[in-house]
Amino acid sequence: MKLAVAGKGGVGKTTIAGTLARLFAREGERVIAVDADPAMNLKFALGIMRNPEPISELKDLIFTRTAADTGMGVFKLNPKVDDILAQFGALGPDGVTLLVMGTIEKGGTGCTCPENAFLRALLRHVLFKESTVILDMEAGIEHLGRGTARGVDLMLTVVEPGMRSVETVARIKTLGEDIGITRFAAVVNKVTSADVAHRIETILVEMGIPVLGIVPHDPALIQADLEGKAPLDVGGVAVERIKALKEKITALS
């Protein structure tokens, strides 16, 4: 399963992406967790102390591989990337491999800088070569290119009770469909009332987005965050629900 986790800022994308990655790894799968958020904090949710070198920082390698160092203003869009994961991925608890992308240049008109081309080529490579990939996105998905999106099996949107979060999901679905993502699902997180969760679920289902899980607001996660521990190493009701979510995701594939 190749999963992209997206949603409004602060809804719990990283918490859920990191926990799912470890749960898949506990099943014996080789899991690649990709931190595609410039904030680079997926490591905490995985229980990894230090980030490996962000790929965007490998300026010399990127310039050599994309042949941008010729100074001609042209560069390769298909640089060699097949050795990057082994070299720059960090192995963490349960055997998850963390790959940190670093800052991907944005720009709606399409930035054509070598770094961007390299990161996209790498992401495409990982999505097409590996069988289990969890992508922790930044709030938007604007930087997901068409070629990359084709490698994503499921866009899992995280929603917190609130209409702004639901609107973000609507936008992600429109954008995602535009770039060729075919399967969307949602998980409602930080739930404090079953009634509200039900209302959010109804709206999402009307939008054509099935809800695969409801995760309660859980002080244990805030505690884990404060202590710099992975949610899975702390446990609690939210983690139990993420385990149930993982089962639902597995049942899809």
Binding site for ligand ATP (CB under 6 A): 7, 9-15, 37, 39, 139, 189-190, 215, 217-218, 221-222, 225, 238
What whole-number distance in Å separates Cα of residue 253 and Cα of residue 243? 16
- Measured from the Cβ of residue 95, the count of other Cβ atoms closer than 10 Å reads 13
# chain residues binding Mg ion, by CB under 5 A: 2
- For residue 155, the minimal CB distance to ligand ATP (Å) is 14
Member of 14, 97, 132, 165 binding Mg ion (CB under 5 A) = 14
| Residue 225 partner contact from Mg ion, ligand ATP, none using kind-dependent CB cut-offs of 5 to 8 Å | ligand ATP
Closest CB to ligand ATP among residues 18, 52: 18
- For residue 49, the minimal CB distance to Mg ion (Å) is 18
- For residue 145, the minimal CB distance to ligand ATP (Å) is 20
| Residue 190 partner contact from Mg ion, ligand ATP, none using kind-dependent CB cut-offs of 5 to 8 Å | ligand ATP
Closest CB to ligand ATP among residues 66, 168: 168
86 CB burial (10 A radius; 0-12, 13-18, 19+): exposed
- For residue 191, the minimal CB distance to ligand ATP (Å) is 8
Closest CB to ligand ATP among residues 18, 79: 18
Closest CB to ligand ATP among residues 132, 189: 189
**189 is an interface residue for Mg ion by CB under 5 A:** no
Closest CB to ligand ATP among residues 130, 218: 218
| Residue 12 partner contact from Mg ion, ligand ATP, none using kind-dependent CB cut-offs of 5 to 8 Å | ligand ATP
Decide: 133 and 127 in contact? Cβ < 8 Å: yes
Q: Which residue has the tokens 């710099």?
A: 228
Closest CB to ligand ATP among residues 5, 68: 5
Closest CB to Mg ion among residues 81, 187: 187
- Characterize 117-137 residue by residue with b for buried, 16 or more Cβ atoms within 10 angstroms of its Cβ, and e for exposed: bbbbbbbbbbbeebebbbbbb
Q: In what order do the strands lie in the sheet with 90-91?
A: 90-91, 97-100, 31-35, 132-136, 2-7, 154-159, 184-191, 211-216
| Residue 207 partner contact from ligand ATP, Mg ion, none using kind-dependent CB cut-offs of 5 to 8 Å | none
- For residue 59, the minimal CB distance to ligand ATP (Å) is 25
Decide: 14 and 165 in contact? Cβ < 8 Å: no
